[in-house]
Amino acid sequence: MKIYNFGEQKSVMNRFIAELRDKQIQKDSLRFRRNLERIGELFAYEISKQLKYEERDVQTPLGIAKCQLPADKVVVASILRAGLPLHQGVLNIFDSAQNAFIAAYRKYGKDNKFKIQMEYATMPSIEGKTVVLVDPMLATGSSIILAYNKICTNGEPLHTHIVATIASRESLSLLSKNLPHSKVTLWVGAVDEELTNKSYIVPGLGDAGDLAFGEKL
């Protein structure tokens, strides 16, 4: 599985991620959501370079322009609720894409261990389409694997691009072992080395869903 880690590059994305991490700046939920959205836009632009293109004639007021336009049918998918701002950023670029939404969350037991609980999923046919599956935080990677498998019940995607703002080293290992290498590409903004005993990324940024939309009960 090809992995693109933008944390290894010098770009404006580093500033957006730094602001997401900053415990003072992240208190501004509007700015937090907007930074996730901007990161989604940057990832989408990079992903667009890997799509298939076809030449088309476009009528201008003065003549015909030959333009290279994307030929792939794209579906943008996200895990609710934390994935919504990142989803919107990707959709701002792939503005004619179809959309899929998966509701999944951690259900903790008395021993503080958890399993991923899926509530519902709504999506179009995935057959032969390029899927961009987004989740801001890849802690264990379990949610993304569950989401990917659920998406594939609606058809076989042409290719799947998984997008995450921050991933743990452990999640990269799990995804590499459980997803088809030739069919999946992973795009991450940064990779952190540690997880807490409750599987939160360290240093990470905290709970992305709460920071974007407010604390939940």
> Does residue 68 register a pLDDT over 80?
yes
pLDDT tens digits, 142-178: 899 999 999 999 999 999 999 999 999 999 999 999 9
120 pLDDT band, cuts 50/70/90, is confident
Question: Of all residues in the chain, what percent carry a pLDDT higher than 70?
Answer: 95
Range of the domain at 13: 2-213
Q: Tell me if 162 sits within 8 A of 144, measured CB to CB.
A: yes
CATH code of the domain containing 85:
3.40.50.2020
55 beta partners: 68
Number of domains the chain is built from: 1
Of residues 204 and 81, which shows the higher confidence score?
204
pLDDT given for residue 198 in this prediction: 80
Residues 170 and 74: their CA atoms lie apart, in Å, by: 29
Q: Is 126 exposed, middle or buried (0-12, 13-18, 19+ CB in 10 A)?
A: buried
pLDDT tens digits, 98-118: 999 998 776 666 666 667 777
Q: Is 118 helix (H, G, I), strand (E, B) or coil?
A: strand
Q: Give the predicted TM-score (pTM) of the model.
A: 0.93
Q: Is 86 helix (H, G, I), strand (E, B) or coil?
A: helix
Residue 141 is given by DSSP the state: S
Residue 57 is given by DSSP the state: E
pLDDT given for residue 115 in this prediction: 75
Please provide the average confidence, as pLDDT, over all residues in the chain: 93
The half-sphere exposure of 17 on its side-chain side, counting CA atoms within 13 A, is 27
Element (H, E) at 115: strand 114-122
For residue 52, count other CB atoms closer than 10 A to its CB: 10
Spatial CB neighbours of 205, under 8 Å, sequence gap ≥ 6: 20, 21, 26, 137, 165, 166, 211
